[in-house]
Structure 1
Amino acid sequence: MDAAAEEPSGLRGHLPIGGRSVLRHQVGLALAFGCARIVVQAEALTGELVALQHVAESAGARFHVIPTARALVPLVSPEDELLVLADGLLAVPEDALRLLNDGPVILTMPVETGLAAGFERIDINHASAGAMRLPGRVVAGLGELPPEWSPASALLRIAVQAGVPQRDIPFAFIDQGRWRLIRSEDEAHRAEPGWLRLHTIGAHRRSPGEMLAGIAVQKIGPALLHAGTRPYIVTIASFALGVLGVGAGWFGSATIGFALLALCWLVAECAALLARVERASLLASARMAPTGAAFALLLDAGFVALCAWRSELADISGVAAALRLFAPLVLMLTLRLVPAVCAARDWTSWLSDRFLCGIGLAVLSAIGPFDAVLRMVVLALLAGTLLDASAVGRRTANAASTIRE
């Protein structure tokens, strides 16, 4: 790592992206690549580097801090392979691993694009892309260079002279912000929203609640992560909202309870997205991300309980509690079964959206005949599913008939 140009006493690797330093992202990439030894050039061992040492050693790798490029020579044998990452390089891990997976290579880009992005020139046509996989034998050449040379620049020159193959990275990686060099705090702030967006936009068509959670993470996610708010803290907040929602329903405020359960699901989705960002950046496991079956069942049970407490049947003496539970129980089971039966349909993602469900029930609780409309919704869902299944069956039968003919 070299000193950042705009901060002579600092290191680009210490610039934060998503609440973690760029160097922390690079350590995650190196560990995913299978590196057994991680070497960082820095003038002194700082608290940040000590924390990274713990991360590396907990993953079974050795961690070294060296003051000059020459100090790298005794750490690498000719039989080793070397993964070299430029100071400040931030790349989507899956892209980097795929490009570096096929043996020794110098990743490059067109010189105009590379110089504008802050990368180092190789020749008249190419600039370095900031990542190389090199044979260990090239490290011996560092001993012949002045000590003030940075390891990355020196190894780049030695590798080019040794004839290591070069490969351009796809331009889309640069255009989409999947591969960039972070050189200052301003660049880090500008890059962060796009970095989060890369890891929070799903490939499937999303429901309104999922889209809202994605927008929330993109807007306030950087502030949460920089404040040290990890996904499990957001998870605890979602559980607290769920408890408050059930409590509100118990004390007769079912409308507020439904709204709180909707927020509970939304906050849980935000926690899951933040955990996805950490997984995708190879930073941490998604501990306590409330996306499992147990959380979903508890939330649905909360909706059933609130519906039963809100039911007009509660005002009629002698009505069994099981009768009040029947319609909401069938509703939640239908919302679970229909997406499983019609999995290929885009609209079924809306039925799994408990934010939409909670807001709808809150509105119905506030202004409508609750029990009657609830039963109508159940019948409409069942009828729609049967019609859809029937249409699919007819299309399949027609296709089979056409093939036989």
Structure 2
Amino acid sequence: MAHDLGCERFICLTDAKLEAFEELKDQIQQFGGEFHTISGPLPLVSLLSADQELMVIADGLIADRAQVAALLTGQRGVLVLPDAAGIEAGFERIDATHAWGGIFVARGQIVEQLAHMPEDSDTVSLLLRLALQSAVKLVPLDASHLETGEWLLLREGSKLAEREQSLLKSSAERVSWWEPTRAMSRRIARFLAPDGLDHGSLIFGALSAVSFAAAAVATFFNVMPWALLFLALSILASETREGMLRLKSLLRGAVPKSTRKWFGLLKDFFLIGALSWPFIVAEAATELFLPVLAIGMLRLGERTWKAPLSRLLTDRGIFALFMAGISAFHLVDLGLGGISLVILALSLYFQRESQITEA
């Protein structure tokens, strides 16, 4: 949330020494930021200069990031709630009609006055009073956000659990069942979140690598059905790992990175090899023709077919499963040729239809 507003230095007010701080530090360094822990107001004076901006977040605040960005991007201000609703929700009263909304942005120069305050002072309350005295404007926050759970000051574990489920629901990727492998992988990631995200990504990454190796071994021994089944499992495990990593990144406010492009090429090369193995070098062109044609047609259909049918062609896991079943009956050539003809025919149909214009 602070990163959304451009914060570069993150300071936690605490006396505790927790292992979780090391993980938090690593996350912040991924943003290119700094992380510090301090136990009182005086160390803050040396960390900020008068020309910097200061953002303060109340302890225990869980707020909707989009709302915070909409209200405070590019401006200073103290978020405020109507006094009755805010105080009932646990927020601090700041005047006769308002309660603090839990966040404010002010000039860094207010920190200089902390040097004259007692070391055991409540740093956040002091900063809030100094911000209000510096005539920072009040930015009203609709009290309805308190009712929807988008804005909470956590005091009970049950509220945290509710907010956790709400955050997971909003962050989880929604993938259509027209991409069955991806859709299943994202639902597995959501089912295992949040506790399983850290170790789950490692487990599914290992499962993907082991399955891929097993597929290579089965291909070498010319057991095509098993090679394709192991490849389908590897693809599902890889997609699940990526789904977990993306969900983890989204929950932490980072931009998820995708490895689908290079892995997609690897899957296609492996499929071509598995479907044409074993082949004699002198007859390689003949052996490779149908597998290369089928993969080429899949890529053509991805571009020319209309959604959602086009999404089905991107799913190499389903293709591998289909070919595993076909290969069990020794009908690989017939299956590859049939798939290629169907995709070509529909690609020509969709392309021709898309070129029709109205006078």
Q: Please state how far the C-alpha of 1:186 moved relative to its aligned partner.
A: 5.1
Residue number in structure 2 paired with 1:328? 291
How many residues get paired? 359
Residue number in structure 2 paired with 1:199? 171
Q: Please state how far the C-alpha of 1:219 moved relative to its aligned partner.
A: 0.7
Matched, 1:297 2:265: yes
Q: Please state how far the C-alpha of 1:194 moved relative to its aligned partner.
A: 3.6
3-state SS of 2:193 partner: helix
Residue number in structure 2 paired with 1:105? 77
Which residue of 301, 311, 314 maps to 1:338? 301
Distance 1:243 1:176 in 2: 49
Q: Please state how far the C-alpha of 1:81 moved relative to its aligned partner.
A: 1.3
Matched, 1:245 2:207: no
Distance 2:116 2:20 in 1: 31
3-state SS of 2:195 partner: helix
Residue number in structure 2 paired with 1:365? 327
373-382 or 65-74, larger mean C-alpha shift: 65-74
Residue number in structure 1 paired with 2:347? 385
Q: How does 1:113-128 map to 2 (within 5 A)?
A: 114=86, 118-122=90-94, 126-128=98-100
Matched, 1:356 2:325: no
Q: CA RMSD in A?
A: 3.9
Matched, 1:223 2:195: yes
Change (3 A) 1:172 1:47: same
Judge conservation of contact 2:218–2:226 (CA < 8 Å) in 1: yes
Residue number in structure 1 paired with 2:110? 138
Structure 2 residue ranges without an equivalent (≥5): none
Change (3 A) 1:251 1:34: same
Which residue of 247, 252, 277 maps to 2:247? 277
Q: Please state how far the C-alpha of 1:256 moved relative to its aligned partner.
A: 2.8
- Paired residue type of 2:10: I
Change (3 A) 1:265 1:125: farther
Distance 1:176 1:291 in 2: 36
Judge conservation of contact 2:226–2:324 (CA < 8 Å) in 1: yes
Change (3 A) 1:126 1:330: farther
3-state SS of 2:196 partner: helix
138-147 or 41-50, larger mean C-alpha shift: 138-147
Distance 2:183 2:134 in 1: 50
Deviations 1:243-293 (A, max 9, x none): 222322333432232222222222222222233234435576767x5322x
Q: Please state how far the C-alpha of 1:106 moved relative to its aligned partner.
A: 2.0
- Paired residue type of 1:245: A
Distance 1:150 1:347 in 2: 60
Judge conservation of contact 1:199–1:276 (CA < 8 Å) in 2: no
Distance 2:147 2:240 in 1: 27
- Paired residue type of 2:327: S
3-state SS of 1:222 partner: coil
Residue number in structure 1 paired with 2:238? 268
Judge conservation of contact 2:168–2:251 (CA < 8 Å) in 1: no
Change (3 A) 1:170 1:291: farther
Change (3 A) 1:356 1:37: same
Change (3 A) 1:175 1:350: farther
294-303 or 205-214, larger mean C-alpha shift: 205-214
3-state SS of 1:223 partner: coil
Change (3 A) 1:101 1:387: same
Distance 1:60 1:31 in 2: 10
3-state SS of 1:229 partner: helix
3-state SS of 1:43 partner: coil
- TM (norm. structure 2) is 0.80
Change (3 A) 1:309 1:37: closer
Residue number in structure 2 paired with 1:13? none
Which residue of 261, 276, 281 maps to 1:308? 276
- Paired residue type of 1:166: L
Judge conservation of contact 1:93–1:282 (CA < 8 Å) in 2: no
Q: Percent identity?
A: 26
Structure 1 residue ranges without an equivalent (≥5): 1-28
Judge conservation of contact 2:176–2:183 (CA < 8 Å) in 1: no
